[in-house]
């Protein structure tokens, strides 16, 4: 399986892989109201065809990876919504199945497309904005009990890799990295950051150093963070891990955990992307606020075709 289209012999990294954008954004552009405790994961039960359409739209826009609608999917969340544990696991797996089916539909025209199983932080299921704060006040064993079953369910469904994303806290990262190594599925791992710290306030040097010994983390970096904080995070990630970086910021603005909305969003400054790639970013896309049209513009910039 090849993730590259252009080699970079100087750094020894593969070429740039274009990621997709925000699943919630693509669904909102379809007229779907996204919200509630389950976020986009609700549609795995109610309207999986909407999710499949979003994946296809991103692929058609130039994305090479479909990130599953499982960021907020967990046994705990689905059970709280009235399902039993077996039903919860089935829905978590469905997130991968839906993405794989969309990938297979698009592979005829664009071979080599991938499916990344999204794994969000513990704070995402709380629905109180703590995914951007960390420091949950829970023990490591509680984080293992939360993440372990969902990782197993996702791995069993056969994704190409994991997308561990928006992790705000070094302590949670350590737990997840150990679970990833137990499963043996490759993963990219991205923190949510502010400046040169995680959102929980730990130095990024320490946060990325904690991933350096992982056997399964193939790239480390940053997502759902301000575009102006990406370059520093990419440089630190590459320096501490020796691996390529992943970079997919949000559209800027402020997250309101009460209304579940972003304010003061702005277009991505595509001029910044060149520096991310020069610093070692090899997986580049968008997070909240990025729809298929934004990914098309990003793919055009990376390809140099002025799309």
Per-residue model confidence as pLDDT tens digits over 171-196 = 999 999 999 999 999 999 999 999 99
Partnered with residue 283 across adjacent β-strands are 17, 246
- The residue-averaged pLDDT of 22-40 equals 76
Which of 158, 113, 164, 129 shows the shortest CA–CA distance to 143? 164
- pLDDT of residue 38 exceeding 60, the answer is no
pTM for this prediction: 0.90
Place of tokens 């040097």: 205
Q: How many CB atoms lie within 10 A of CB 85?
A: 12
pLDDT value for 53: 95
- pLDDT of residue 305 exceeding 70, the answer is no
Alpha helices in 81-229 (DSSP H): 85-107, 122-126, 140-156, 170-183, 204-209
CB 121 within 8 A of CB 111: no
CB 103 within 8 A of CB 55: yes
pLDDT value for 36: 59
- How does the average pLDDT of the chain come out, rounded? 88
Name the band, by pLDDT with cuts 50, 70 and 90, for residue 5. very low
* Domain 17-300 = CATH 3.50.50.60: no
pLDDT value for 233: 98
Q: Provide the residue ranges of all domains of the chain, joining segments of one domain with +.
A: 17-300
Measured between its terminal Cα atoms, the distance across the chain in Å is 27
Phi/psi of residue 288, nearest 5 degrees = -55, 130
Summarize pLDDT for 252-263 with one digit per residue, the tens: 755 555 555 555
- pLDDT of residue 93 exceeding 60, the answer is yes
Place of tokens 């995402």: 124
Instruction: Write the DSSP symbol of residue 155.
Output: H
Name the band, by pLDDT with cuts 50, 70 and 90, for residue 7. very low
pLDDT value for 77: 79
């Amino acid at each position: 399986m090849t993730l590259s289209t252009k080699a970079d012999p100087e750094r020894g990294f593969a070429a740039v892989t274009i990621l997709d954008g925000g699943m919630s954004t693509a669904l909102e552009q379809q007229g779907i109201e996204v919200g509630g405790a389950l976020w986009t994961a609700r549609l795995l039960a109610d309207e999986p065809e909407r999710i499949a359409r979003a994946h296809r739209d991103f692929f058609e826009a130039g994305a090479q990876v479909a990130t599953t609608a499982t960021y907020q999917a967990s046994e705990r969340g689905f059970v709280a919504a009235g399902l039993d544990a077996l039903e919860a696991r089935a829905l978590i797996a469905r997130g991968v199945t839906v993405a794989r089916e969309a990938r297979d539909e698009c592979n005829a025209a664009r071979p080599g497309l991938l499916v990344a199983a999204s794994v969000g932080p513990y704070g995402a299921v709380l629905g109180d904005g703590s995914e951007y704060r960390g420091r949950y006040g829970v023990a490591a064993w509680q984080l293992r009990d939360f993440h372990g079953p969902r990782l197993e369910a996702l791995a069993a469904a056969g994704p190409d890799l994991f997308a561990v994303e928006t992790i705000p806290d070094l302590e949670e990262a350590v737990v997840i990295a150990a679970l990833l190594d137990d499963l043996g599925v490759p993963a990219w791992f991205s923190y949510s950051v502010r400046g040169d710290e995680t959102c929980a306030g730990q130095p990024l040097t320490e946060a990325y150093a904690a991933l350096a010994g992982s056997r399964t983390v193939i790239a480390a970096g940053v997502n759902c963070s301000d575009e102006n904080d990406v370059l520093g995070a990419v440089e630190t990630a590459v320096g501490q891990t020796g691996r390529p970086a992943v970079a997919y910021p949000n559209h800027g603005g402020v997250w309101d955990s009460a209304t579940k909305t972003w304010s003061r969003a702005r277009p991505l400054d595509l001029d910044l992307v060149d520096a991310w790639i020069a610093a070692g970013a090899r997986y580049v896309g968008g997070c909240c606020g990025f729809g298929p049209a934004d990914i098309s513009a990003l793919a055009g910039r990376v390809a140099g075709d002025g799309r």
